[in-house]
Amino acid sequence: MKMLNIALPKGRLGEKAYGIFEKIGCGCPEIREDSRKLIFENGETGVRYFWAKPSDVAIYVERGAADIGIVGKDILLEYEPDVYELLDLGMGRCRMAVAGPKGRRPDPDRTLRVATKFSRIAREYYESQGREIDIIHLNGSIEIAPLLDLSDVIVDIVETGSTLRENDLEVYGEIVPISARLIANKAGYKFKSGRIEQITAALRAELEK
């Protein structure tokens, strides 16, 4: 049997998503062992899992190194990889939001300085509002930017809201809800459509339980 390569995002979401694969009979027991190993194979069920950095999962899938993968909708919106989006797993729920210092609103007549990891999402959002902005692309700890007056607002992921709260920031507006998605390589989907469709259907049924 030809192996089905599955890219999982390293971390809590990936582990939770893997749990669903396990439930539908696509497990690979070795993956649960505590180790630094990154690739796991189960010859019996014909699946090979690997842990990738969450923002890299779509790259592996787009280029065919993985047949399918689990990725946040935020990554799909930001990088627009050429992949099929097969299923909303309904986990890893959060929202993309505009936030800034509590009780303050930016001057609408001035160019808005926006700090973010999600430049495309921010640009498209403000374009749709006809608002002129200056994007400041950062790689993490975005919440610091408005506190040090590097930006007026941030566009970032809000999950529990505690990072904002603990830094005296608040949500000014929501852009889009986010959750984890099952994606597939386009060519791989043609060659392995039977298996991929079967897995997608089993995951969907498991999630509906």
Residues that bind ligand PRP (CB under 6 A): 140-143, 156-163
Q: Which is nearer to ligand PRP, 119 or 200 (CB)?
A: 119
* Nearer Cβ to ligand PRP (55/200): 55
Q: How far is the CB of 94 from ligand PRP (least distance, A)?
A: 7
In the complex with ligand PRP, the residue whose CB is nearer, 111 or 141, is 141
**Residue of 77, 54, 58, 74 lying closest to 66 (CA atoms):** 58
Dist. CA 132–CA 111, nearest whole Å: 5
Strand partners for 199: none
Question: Whose CA is closest to 9, among 43, 64, 65, 49?
Answer: 49
Q: Which is nearer to ligand PRP, 67 or 143 (CB)?
A: 143
In angstroms, give the least distance from the CB of 64 to ligand PRP.
27
| CB 98 to ligand PRP: min, Å | 13
Write down the H helix ranges in 11-161: 12-23, 57-62, 73-79, 119-128, 144-147
Bridge partners (DSSP) listed for residue 68: 6, 184
CB of 141 to ligand PRP, least distance (A): 4
